Amino acid sequence: MVRAQRACRAFAPDDVDDDIVLEVLRAATFAPSAENRQPWEFVVVRDPDARQVIGDVTARAWAGGGRAYSESRLAPELLADVDAGATGGIAAAPVLVVVCGDHQRGNANAMASSIFPAVQNLMLAAGALGLGSALTTMPTAMRAELAALLGLPEHVVPMAVIPLGRPAKPLGPPRRDPVEQHVHHDRYGKTRQ
Amino acid sequence: MVRAQRACRAFAPDDVDDDIVLEVLRAATFAPSAENRQPWEFVVVRDPDARQVIGDVTARAWAGGGRAYSESRLAPELLADVDAGATGGIAAAPVLVVVCGDHQRGNANAMASSIFPAVQNLMLAAGALGLGSALTTMPTAMRAELAALLGLPEHVVPMAVIPLGRPAKPLGPPRRDPVEQHVHHDRYGKTRQ
């Protein structure tokens, strides 16, 4: 699955079984975390109104700066895809998983390194089970709105929103630089041993 | 592999082929990154002197605060394991991969969410190929030493050091909370729909 992962930002309306979601989240919990503190909390959002609010938050973050920032940086095709995702595509997924870090269990310095490996496990498991997903962090910029919507206590901080659902269309292959371009041997810039 | 991943902090001295390391790093590059910027740079450290320096940095960070912080927080067995890893076990791995984020390619706000999924892919691929690994971020607290040792430019920031090698002993099963303890439905604290 590793080499087939691609962000999915357009979803079919078909529902996803609770058992499948739980399986995907279980895979997430097998990621490493600092001191094995397992500081993750997953809010599975299915309620249409709540998904709509998250969609609005996302669209607002995108319109209020995200798009302007990305416009000149993204290839036109990718920009169009992100655009469609941010303005409704992602919120249309039947399930949005809001991945949070619990600061009573985990240390702030180690929070990102403890949460994003779990997020990656989550997405790999989703792919293995035929689901599309995407790693979005934009809505977390609107922490207060998400906290109010989901009833998050102060110490539980949203870090990513992952849509899950059946892809609306086939996802193409991911585009990556050849790994050799980013590998150094013993010293930066030393590309061969 | 997802459910078998466990931190390895004691390594057999057997070497790891370059092809295997490259395969593991290639898997890393198939992780998602913000704007598909692929901001990762991997420094593969095999040189014994360089590994020794990284080991010393790690041991110093551990002795200089890490251990005191973790002492009361870790179960005795895990503390002993981390202790042995930080004081030589990790540096004894034949390969140390220093994973860096390139701030000329990636945005600082999205760096952690772009690097740690790749780190997780790296470790999953290592496990699939029979290698032990562990996610360590402690040495990155000593950014200046690592930058000097590896010749890192200012904009290339070390974020994790991953030892790779054949495990010196079998790794037990990972210990995790039941996923249900960390899943909420639509609102935090709502454990059933």
Residue of A2, A81, A171 best to disrupt the B interface, most CBs of B under 10 A: A2
Nearest residue on chain A to B51, alpha-carbon basis: A186
| Class in CATH terms, A2-182 | alpha beta
The answer to whether the Cβ–Cβ distance between B185 and A44 falls below 8 Å is: yes
Q: What pLDDT does residue A99 have?
A: 98
Whole-number Å distance between alpha carbons of B16 and B25: 13
Nearest residue on chain B to A49, alpha-carbon basis: B186
Q: Poorest-confidence range of A84-93, A176-185, B91-100? A: A84-93
Residue-range domain boundaries for chain B: 2-182
* Residue where the block lists tokens 């973790």: B70
Interface predicted TM-score (ipTM) of this complex, two decimals: 0.95
Residue B2 identity: V
What number is the average pLDDT over the span B102-106? Answer: 95
Chain A residues whose CB is inside 8 A of the B2 CB are 27, 30, 121, 124-125
Nearest Cβ partner for A150 among B44, B160, B187: B187
For residue B179, give the DSSP letter. G
Q: What pLDDT does residue B193 have?
A: 55
Nearest residue on chain A to B24, alpha-carbon basis: A179
In the three-class reduction of DSSP (H, G, I as helix; E, B as strand; rest coil), residue A157 is classed as strand
Q: What pLDDT does residue A147 have?
A: 95
Reported as half-sphere exposure (CB side, CA atoms, 13 A), residue B182 has a value of: 28
The answer to whether the Cβ–Cβ distance between B47 and A186 falls below 8 Å is: yes
Nearest residue on chain A to B183, alpha-carbon basis: A42
Residues in chain B: 193
In the three-class reduction of DSSP (H, G, I as helix; E, B as strand; rest coil), residue B99 is classed as strand
Residue A164's pLDDT band (boundaries 50, 70, 90)? Answer: very high
Q: What pLDDT does residue A68 have?
A: 86
Pairwise pLDDT comparison (A11 vs A68), residue with the higher score: A11
User: In this structure, how many other beta carbons lie within 10 angstroms of the beta carbon of residue A49?
Assistant: 10
Q: What pLDDT does residue B69 have?
A: 85
pLDDT digits (tens, 9 = 90+) for B52-62: 999 998 898 88
The answer to whether the Cβ–Cβ distance between A117 and B135 falls below 8 Å is: yes
What is chain B's mean pLDDT, rounded? 93
Residue B93's pLDDT band (boundaries 50, 70, 90)? Answer: very high
Q: What pLDDT does residue A193 have?
A: 55
Whole-number Å distance between alpha carbons of A183 and B122: 13
Tokens at A24, concatenated: 């995907």
pLDDT digits (tens, 9 = 90+) for A106-153: 989 999 999 999 999 999 999 999 999 999 997 677 889 999 999 999
Q: What percent of chain B has pLDDT over 90?
A: 74
Rg of the Cα atoms in chain A: 17
Q: What pLDDT does residue A92 have?
A: 93
User: How far A140 CA sits from the closest chain B CA (Å)?
Assistant: 11
Nearest Cβ partner for B38 among A31, A124, A177: A177
Nearest Cβ partner for B78 among A36, A42, A179: A36
pLDDT digits (tens, 9 = 90+) for B142-156: 889 999 999 999 999
* pTM value surpassing 0.90: yes
